[in-house]
Structure 1
Amino acid sequence: MTVRSNYYFCWKPSNQLKILFLTHRVPFPQNGGYPIVVCNTIRGLVNLGHEVSLVALNAKKYHHENNDDDNDLLSKINYRAYDININVSVFEVAANLFSKTSFNIDKYYDADFERLLVRELKITQYDIIQFEGLFVSLYLSAIRKNSKAKLIYRLHNIESQIWHRLSQQKSDPFKKSYLKMHAKRIKNYELQQLNNFDAIAVFTEQDKSTLMEYGTKIPIEILPVGINLDHYQPDFEKTEFPSLFFLGSLDWLPNREGIEWFLENFKQDLIDGELRVRFYVAGNDIPERFDDYDVMGKIFIQGEVDDALEFVNSKAIMIVPLLSSGGMRVKIVEGMAMQKCIISTSLGAEGINYKNSENILIANNVDEFYEAIKLCIADEDYCKRVGLNARKLIEEQHDVNKVTEKLVAFYQTLV
C-alpha cells in the first residue's frame, strides 16, 4: 500500500471545528461531480477558518499534475491518499452470486487502510468526520469505536435506487435479474448503515423523502450542491451556435446508459435528418466502442478534455439524457452557471428548483428531446434567455459560500 500525504497545520480558534473527510476516490483533478462537490465543500470550510483533513482511497492509482486550483487547496489542508486495489476477478464475481452482500461495495474495504485510519484517530481528535458516499461507510464501525467525533454521512446518491432504475431499463431477463439482485443487496446494506451515523446530509428533498421511507431516525439536512461562481464566466464570442454537447464521466453507469440511449435514437437524425447541428461527447473513461458513433463533421467523440469549463463555454446546448439516477447532477449546476441552455430528463434535473422552458427544458422521451433540440437550434436568442435565467437560479441557490455556512450551522447543532 502506498501512502502519500500533505500536511498543513494551523492554530484552531475555540469556535472553529476540526473536520475529517473520507472519500472513496481521490478528488483531484476536479473533473466530475463527486470531486467538485468534495473540493468545493472543503474549500468553503477552509475559507471560514475551519481545520480540514482529507483521507482518500486511491483505487485508480491515479497520479496527475496538480493545477493551481488543486495546489492552492492542498496547501491549506491535511491530506493523505491510500492506494487500494478494487479490481474484482471473474471468480470473485461468480462467487458473489451466492453471497448476501454486493462486491460493488465490499471491494472498497481494505484491512490495512482501516488499521492506519484507526491509528490516525487515536492521534487526532476530530469534531466532525464526514463520510462522502456509501463506499467509505465500510469503516464506520471502526471509526465509531475509536473516535468521539460526530459522524456525518453525505449521500451523493441512493445507490440501491440507481441499480433498481438500471434494472428497469433492461429487456434482457438475465441482466434485469442480475441488476435487481445487486439493488436488493445494496439496499439491505444501506438500511443497516443509515441509523448508525449521527446525521445525514442530502442534496434533494426527494432523497430525504426516500430516506424517511427507509425508516431513518437521525437528523437529515438538505444542502444543495454549492459552486464557486467566480470560476464560471461565460464568453459567448467563443461559443459555437448551434451545437449540442454532453459532458460526463462514462465510468458511471447511468451516464453511459443515458448517452448510449441518446446516440442510438438520434444518430441518424444528426447525420442526415432535420437536426442540422453538430454533437460533441466529452468525458472520462469513454469506452472504445463509442468510436463507432463518431461521424466526421457531425458527431464528435472527443474523450477527456483538458479544460472542462472551456469545453462547456465553446458549445451552446447541453444534453443530459439520464434515465436512472438520483441526487443532484453537478454538471447541470455547472452548466447553468455557464448560462447554458440545457435539455434534461426530469430525473437528471431532480433536486434543482427549475422552471421548465424558463431556465431549463425537460424532455423525458425521444419525441420530447427531438422537439426541444429542434426549438433550441433554431432560436439563439431563446437559448441565451434560458441560459441567463439558469445563471440567476444558481446565484440564488447554489453559491458555495451560502451553502457552506448552512453546513457549518448544521454541524454546530450536532456538536
Structure 2
Amino acid sequence: MLKTLQALKILFLTHRVPFPQNGGYPIVVCNTIRGLVSLGHEVSLVALNAKKTHHQHNDDDKDLLSKIKYRAFDININVSVFDVAVNLFSKTSFNIDRYYDVGFERLLIAELKKTNYDIIQFEGLLVSLYMTAVRKNSKAKLIYRLHNVESQIWHRLAQQKSDPFKKSYLKMHAKRIKNYELQQLNNFDAIAVFTAQDKSTLLEYGTKIPIQVLHLGINLDHYKPDFSKTEFPSLFFLGSLDWLPNREGIEWFLENFKQELTEGDLRVKFYVAGNDIPERFDDYEVMGKIFIQGEVDDALEFVNSKSIMIVPLLSGGGMRVKIVEGMAMQKCIISTSLGAEGINFRNGEDILIANDQDEFYEAIKRCIADEEYCKSVGLKARKLIEAEHDVNKVTQKLVEFYQKMI
C-alpha cells in the first residue's frame, strides 16, 4: 500500500448514492475513494439518496464501505406541475433547487462539528447548495469536482430541439443554471476537472481560483477482455438513460439507423443496455436485430460480449466513463467528437470519430467488415488507458493537488 507524507481527513458530498457502481458518476466517485483509501487517507462519504432506494451491496461495495464512514440521507426531489409552473417566474432552476433539504443540511453540520476535515470535495454542482453551511462550520479546503459544465449541457440540448417552445424552455434553464454556476464557482478553494476543454470553459466564465485537470481514473485490474466470449460483428450502447444527453443521443441513432440495421446494408445486431430506459424504447426493438435489454446484471460482462461500441453523444460535456471503460476492455469505439472529449485519442487508430449520420454509417460499415481492424483499434485503446487513466497515478496527482491547497 502506498503512503503519502500526510494522511488527510477527506469528506465527499454526493447528490446521489454511488452504489451500485452502474454508471459514470458512481464509478468515478468510488474509484477516487478507493484510491485515496489505498494511499492511507481517512475518507467519509455523505450522500443524498434522491431515489430513496436501498440496494443490496455487492462484495466490492461492502469492501469499500468497510474502509470508510458512510451516511445516506433520503431526499424528495419530485416536482409537481404546479411547481414547474411557479418556477417559470423564478430566477433559479428547480433542477438545482430541488436538491436542497434542510434536514440534510442539519445532518451535514453535525458531521462537520464532529470531525475536523482537511478537504471537503463537492461531487458536482447539485451539492454546492450546501457550501454556505459548510463554510460556516468547517475550516477545510473546499474542492469542487466538476463532472460536467451543467449549463453547457442544457444549452446544447436546446440547440438540438426544433420545437420552439422546448428550445426556449431549455434555453431558459441553461441561462439560470449558468447564472448559478457563475455565483458559485469562485466560492470554492479550487476546482478539479476531467478535461482541458472544461478548464477553458471555466476560465471563460471568469473563474479565478486554481483549476486542476485530472483525468478520470479506473482500476485496470478489473478490465480483462476475453475475446472467446465476444460476438463479432455486434454493435452496442451502454449508458444510463436518466441522463438527458444519453437519451437524446441514442434516440437520434435509433431514428436514423433502425432501417439500415434491419433492412439495409448494415447487417449487424444492435444491443442497447443501461438504467432507466423509458418504456417507449421498446418500440425500437426488432426481433433478432435490435435488442433493448435495459439494465444488465454485469456491465463489464455485457461489454465483453459485444465488439463495437457506439457513443452518439450530441450534447453534454466532461469525460465519458463508459468510453474509458470500453477502451480498457479493448473495444472498437465509434463516438462523436463530443463523446470522446478529454481523451487523447488518435482518430482511426484507437477510436473512430463520427459526427453525423454519414460518418457513423461509413465507420460502422468499415468495422463490421474487418474484425482484425477492430481488434487493432481496441488494443491501441487499451494502451492509451494504461498510460493515462490508471487510478493509482490519477489519485496520487489528486492528493498532490490537495496538499498544495492545504
How much does 1:156 deviate? 0.1
| Greater CA drift, 115-124 or 358-367 | 115-124
Helix, strand or coil for the counterpart of 1:153? strand
Matched, 1:329 2:320: yes
Among 175, 187, 190, the alignment partner of 2:178 is: 187
Amino acid at match of 2:290: I
Matched, 1:399 2:390: yes
Structure 2's unaligned 5+ residue stretches are none
Which position in structure 2 is the counterpart of 1:210? 201
Q: Segments of 4+ in structure 1 off by > 2 A?
A: none
Amino acid at match of 1:370: Y
Distance 1:147 1:210 in 2: 29
Deviations 1:290-318 (A, max 9, x none): 00000000000000000000000000000
How much does 1:288 deviate? 0.2
Among 289, 293, 303, the alignment partner of 1:312 is: 303
Among 44, 47, 52, the alignment partner of 2:38 is: 47
Deviations 1:65-111 (A, max 9, x none): 11110000000000000000000011000000000000000000001
Which position in structure 1 is the counterpart of 2:259? 268
Percent of aligned pairs sharing the same letter = 85
Matched, 1:161 2:152: yes
Matched, 1:256 2:254: no
Amino acid at match of 1:309: L
Among 101, 126, 134, the alignment partner of 1:143 is: 134
Matched, 1:172 2:136: no
Distance 1:45 1:136 in 2: 21
Which position in structure 2 is the counterpart of 1:6? none
Matched, 1:73 2:64: yes
How much does 1:14 deviate? 7.4
Helix, strand or coil for the counterpart of 2:206? coil
Helix, strand or coil for the counterpart of 2:90? coil
Aligned pairs for 1:226-305 within 5 A: 226-305=217-296
Which position in structure 2 is the counterpart of 1:21? 12
Distance 1:356 1:74 in 2: 40
Among 347, 355, 360, the alignment partner of 1:364 is: 355
Helix, strand or coil for the counterpart of 1:322? coil
Q: Taking structure 1 as the reference length, what is the TM-score of the superposition? A: 0.97
Distance 1:59 1:325 in 2: 22
Helix, strand or coil for the counterpart of 1:319? strand
Deviations 1:254-289 (A, max 9, x none): 000000000000000000100000000000000000
**Number of aligned pairs?**
404
Among 370, 378, 400, the alignment partner of 1:379 is: 370
Amino acid at match of 2:198: D
How much does 1:129 deviate? 0.1
How much does 1:62 deviate? 1.3
Which position in structure 2 is the counterpart of 1:340? 331
Distance 1:224 1:61 in 2: 31
Distance 2:403 2:83 in 1: 44
Q: Taking structure 2 as the reference length, what is the TM-score of the superposition? A: 0.99
Distance 2:232 2:5 in 1: 54
Amino acid at match of 2:275: N
Distance 2:213 2:84 in 1: 36
Helix, strand or coil for the counterpart of 1:384? helix
Distance 1:129 1:95 in 2: 34
Distance 2:251 2:12 in 1: 34
Deviations 1:346-402 (A, max 9, x none): 000000000000000000000000000000000000000000000000000000000
How much does 1:116 deviate? 1.3
Paired residues of 2:4 and 2:39 also in contact (CA < 8 A): no
Distance 2:4 2:200 in 1: 37
Alignment RMSD (CA, Å)? 0.9
Paired residues of 2:239 and 2:322 also in contact (CA < 8 A): yes
Structure 1's unaligned 5+ residue stretches are 1-11
